[in-house]
């Protein structure tokens, strides 16, 4: 017999990474707030972000938030909603000051201000030259943001439900309108079910990079929040756009920050050539990530890769000197030493692109409200961070704009969720709210089918790497879709070993796989439908950007077991689409 607990809050936040905790800091002083998180907050993947957070502080050279807006729009290959990008760039400055005042230990300039470094795609005066815009704390900026936000949540006494896995969003029909009334969670340590009745709900659940084999993402990034929303009939926006970060440790995918190139590191092919000079003559190794990743794959495909199998390129940091590496890039220096046995001080490091970041996700307004379609918001439901699509990143996110996104839109989500909760009445929960989750857990806990969760997941990851990575074609994508359909059938027949109630991580992984399979299908179907190349979505069979047909966001809807695709207009304010050259 499953034990069910009931809770009531004004605001419930799902996820305790950067966006979730930034929201909590904004919401908790004004409304009764709970943060529900699958992991202890400090385990969240915000902590793995390295290089920096962009803001036009102009501490070390001339800069303006308008230039930052332009770079963000151009970096996203013009699929960015320009009103959102303007908010991102303008509010970046306060977001950095907030964090500094909360205690974040940024690196400092000689006169004691926050230091700034170069990063890909961030330029002076609309593309003239790289600009120092990324505020940083060595190469552990994400770690320091996560710690600082956790410290401030501790200061405010924010209520955390650690290792509680949210598995359902409760929507209520009120006068013919859909609104949110809470969430249902599974408590990992006991197996109990918890129903949270809430006036506002914020999803801040991160990405889903684990659908790929080679990824910088944590094992836990399985798209749970995005998957829950999808299953409730809420659309997903621009899911075909996934970022492959150029510098993952070869064969492993562990991230080496773009900040290395910001400090002067150079990409070389087998013959030692600085190949980015050929592709992006103005900003070279500091071109945006989508461009660099494509060039790397092309170098390898054309036989200029390094190593015994000629299957990677080299990140050369040797000219930076031991001091820069030890003081400004200590963590990545250690990663290369630990995991590849390569010392970046004396040897170039083998790298290849690694699945890094979902540009798409849950569609929201610039106030972080979740959209039910192109125009209607769901009252009380918010999303922020990687799980959301505002869209500030368009078809390719610039480095350092994600740490910025979680702070700007996390804050907006928290503020708006609290304000809504303070004026709206808490909706009653429908009868049998917990039934779906109770049954899902029981079914999976007793599942004794012949299929193995790890085997299905491994095949999904391999096929996604093969068919839906940096280069895609109709052939590769339709193949991937067929494979995923087959895997979904096999998933219905999985069996697990652990029949226990307590810390059943076997059960947890089985449920996570279900979300990965659902979302992989949305990614692939959306990608097949976009017959052009733009930002992170490169179609070998349609190599050009096609603004006439595709200057619009994809909106995918779940219709029974089918996926229906629609479009949403891009918001263009000041920057008419131009050819994207660097």
Partner 1 sequence: MPELGVVQSFTVTFIVRRFNPETDQEPYWQDFDVDMYSTDRVLDGLHKIKWEQDGSLSFRRSCAHGICGSDAMRINGRNRLACKTLIKDLDISKPVYVEAIKGLPLEKDLIVDMEPFFAAYREVQPFLQSTSTPDKENIQSPEQRARFDDTTKCILCAACTTSCPVFWTDGQYFGPAAIVAAHRFIFDSRDEAAQVRLDILNSKEGVWRCRTTFNCTEACPRGIEITKAISEVKQATISGVRR
What's the Cα-to-Cα distance from 200 to each of 146, 173, 223, 494, rounded to whole Å? 23, 15, 21, 35
Helix (H, G, I), strand (E, B) or coil at 206: coil
Ranges within 160-219 binding partner 1 (CB under 8 A): 189, 218-219
* Count of residues engaged in binding partner 1, rule: CB under 8 A: 68
* Pick 91 or 237: Cβ nearer partner 1: 91
Q: Smallest distance from the beta carbon of 97 to partner 1, in angstroms?
A: 6
Nearer to partner 1, 11 or 342 (CB): 342
Site string for partner 1, 505-524 (x = CB under 8 A): xx------------------
The Cα-based distances of 295 to 112, 160, 230 in angstroms read: 39, 44, 34
From 151-159, 275-283, 482-490, 552-560, give the range in contact with partner 1 by CB under 8 A. 151-159
CB of 423 to partner 1, least distance (A): 28
> Residue 9: which of 403, 429, 313, 379 has the closest Cα?
429
Applying the rule CB under 8 A, the residues between 282 and 321 that interact with partner 1 are 307-309, 311-312
Question: Could you give the CA distance from residue 141 to residue 17 in angstroms, rounded to a whole number?
Answer: 14
Of residues 178 and 243, the one with the C-beta less far from partner 1: 243
Q: Is 14 helix (H, G, I), strand (E, B) or coil?
A: strand
**Least gap, CB of 577 to partner 1 (angstroms):** 36
Interface with partner 1, residue 493, by CB under 8 A: no
Q: Which residues touch 109 (CB under 8 Å, ≥6 apart)?
A: 59, 60, 115
Of the ranges 175-183, 359-367, 425-433, 504-512, which one interacts with partner 1 (CB under 8 A)?
Answer: 504-512
Distances from the Cα of 376 to the Cα of 30, 79, 304, angstroms: 26, 21, 51
**Residue 338 within binding range of partner 1, rule CB under 8 A:** yes
Q: Which of 22, 45, 117, 539 binds partner 1 (CB under 8 A)?
A: 45
Distances (CA, A) of 38 to 148, 186, 220, 242, 271: 20, 9, 9, 23, 46
Assess 2 for contact with partner 1 (CB under 8 A).
Answer: no
* Alpha-helix residue ranges (DSSP H) falling in 170-288: 224-231, 259-262, 276-279
Q: Which stretch binds partner 1 (CB under 8 A): 102-110, 171-179, 369-377, 532-540?
A: 102-110
Contacts to partner 1 from residues 438-457, by CB under 8 A:
452-454
Does 570 interact with partner 1 (rule: CB under 8 A)?
A: no
> Of the candidates 2, 64, 172, 220, which one interacts with partner 1 according to CB under 8 A?
220
Among 83, 100, 159, 459, binds partner 1 (CB under 8 A): 100
Spatial distance between the Cα atoms of 161 and 267, rounded to a whole number of angstroms? 44
> Which of 117, 179, 289, 294 is an active site residue?
289
Sorted by sequence, the CB contacts under 8 Å of residue 250 that are 6+ apart come out as 307, 311, 312, 340, 350, 351, 352
Nearest-5° Cα angle at 332, 331 to 338: 90
Binds partner 1 by CB under 8 A, chosen from 61, 97, 492, 549:
97
- Closest CA relative to residue 569, chosen from 550, 556, 582, 543: 550
Minimum distance of partner 1 from residue 315's CB (angstroms): 13
Q: How far is CA 450 from the centre of its chain?
A: 33
Q: Which residue has the tokens 């790497």?
A: 465
In the annotation, is 289 catalytic? Answer: yes
HSE toward the beta carbon, residue 115, CA cutoff 13 A: 18
CB of 153 to partner 1, least distance (A): 9
Comparing CB distances to partner 1, the nearer of 237 and 386 is 386
**Length of the chain as a residue count:** 582
Q: Which is nearer to partner 1, 210 or 558 (CB)?
A: 210
Give whichever of 127 and 251 is closer to partner 1, judged by the CB atom.
251
By CB under 8 A, is residue 105 in contact with partner 1?
Answer: yes
Binding site for partner 1 (CB under 8 A): 39-40, 42-45, 47-48, 96-97, 100-103, 105-114, 137-138, 140, 143-144, 147, 151-152, 154-155, 189, 218-220, 250-251, 254, 307-309, 311-312, 331, 335, 338-342, 347, 350, 452-454, 496-498, 500-506
Which positions are catalytic?
Answer: 289
């Amino acid at each position: 017999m499953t034990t069910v607990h009931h809770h009531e809050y004004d605001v419930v936040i799902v996820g305790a990474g950067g966006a979730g905790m930034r929201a909590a800091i904004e919401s908790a002083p004004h409304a009764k707030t709970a943060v529900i998180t699958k992991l202890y907050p400090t385990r969240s993947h915000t902590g793995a972000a390295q290089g920096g957070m962009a803001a036009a502080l102009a501490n070390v050279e001339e800069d303006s938030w308008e230039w930052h807006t332009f770079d963000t729009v151009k970096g996203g290959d013009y699929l960015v909603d320009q009103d959102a990008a303007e908010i991102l760039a303008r509010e970046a400055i306060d977001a950095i000051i907030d964090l500094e005042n909360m205690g974040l230990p940024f690196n400092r300039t000689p006169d004691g201000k926050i230091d700034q470094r170069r990063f890909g795609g961030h330029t002076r005066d609309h593309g003239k030259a790289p600009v120092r815009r990324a505020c940083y704390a060595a190469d552990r900026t994400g770690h320091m943001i996560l710690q600082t936000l956790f410290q401030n949540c501790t200061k405010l006494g924010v209520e955390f439900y650690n290792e509680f896995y949210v598995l359902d969003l409760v929507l209520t029909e009120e006068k013919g309108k859909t609104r949110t009334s809470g969430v249902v969670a599974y408590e990992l340590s006991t197996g109990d079910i918890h129903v949270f009745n809430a006036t506002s709900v914020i999803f801040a659940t991160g990405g889903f990079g684990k659908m790929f084999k080679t990824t910088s993402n944590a094992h836990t990034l399985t798209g749970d929040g995005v998957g829950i929303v999808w299953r409730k009939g809420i659309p997903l926006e621009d899911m075909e756009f996934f970022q492959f970060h150029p510098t993952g440790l070869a064969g492993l995918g562990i991230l080496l920050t773009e900040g290395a190139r910001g400090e002067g590191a150079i990409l070389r092919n087998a013959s030692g050539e600085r190949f980015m000079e050929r592709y992006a003559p103005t900003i070279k190794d500091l071109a945006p990530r989508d461009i660099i990743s494509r060039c790397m794959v092309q170098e390898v495909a054309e036989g200029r890769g390094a190593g015994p199998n000629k299957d990677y390129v080299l990140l050369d940091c040797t000219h930076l000197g031991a001091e820069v590496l030890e003081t400004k890039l200590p963590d990545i220096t250690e990663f290369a030493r630990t995991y590849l046995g390569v010392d970046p001080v004396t040897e170039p490091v083998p790298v290849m692109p690694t699945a890094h970041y979902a540009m798409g996700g849950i569609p929201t307004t610039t106030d972080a409200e979740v959209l039910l379609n192109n125009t209607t918001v769901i009252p009380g439901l918010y999303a922020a961070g990687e799980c959301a699509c505002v869209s500030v990143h368009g078809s390719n996110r610039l480095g350092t704009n994600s740490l910025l996104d979680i702070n700007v839109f996390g804050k907006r989500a928290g503020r708006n969720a609290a304000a809504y909760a303070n004026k709206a009445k808490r909706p009653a929960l429908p009868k049998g709210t917990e039934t779906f989750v109770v049954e899902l857990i029981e079914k999976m806990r007793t599942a004794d089918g012949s299929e193995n969760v790890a085997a299905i997941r491994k095949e999904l990851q391999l096929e996604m790497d093969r068919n839906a990575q940096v280069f895609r074609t109709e052939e590769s994508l339709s193949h991937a879709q067929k494979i995923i359909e087959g895997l979904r059938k096999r998933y219905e027949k999985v069996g697990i070993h652990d029949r226990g109630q307590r810390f059943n991580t076997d059960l947890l992984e089985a449920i996570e796989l279900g979300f990965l399979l659902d979302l992989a299908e949305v990614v692939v179907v959306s990608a097949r439908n976009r017959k052009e190349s733009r930002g992170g979505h490169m179609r070998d069979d349609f190599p050009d950007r096609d603004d006439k047909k595709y200057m619009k966001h994809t909106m995918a809807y779940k219709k029974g077991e089918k996926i229906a695709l629609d479009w949403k207009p891009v918001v263009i304010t000041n920057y008419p689409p131009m050819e994207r050259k660097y």
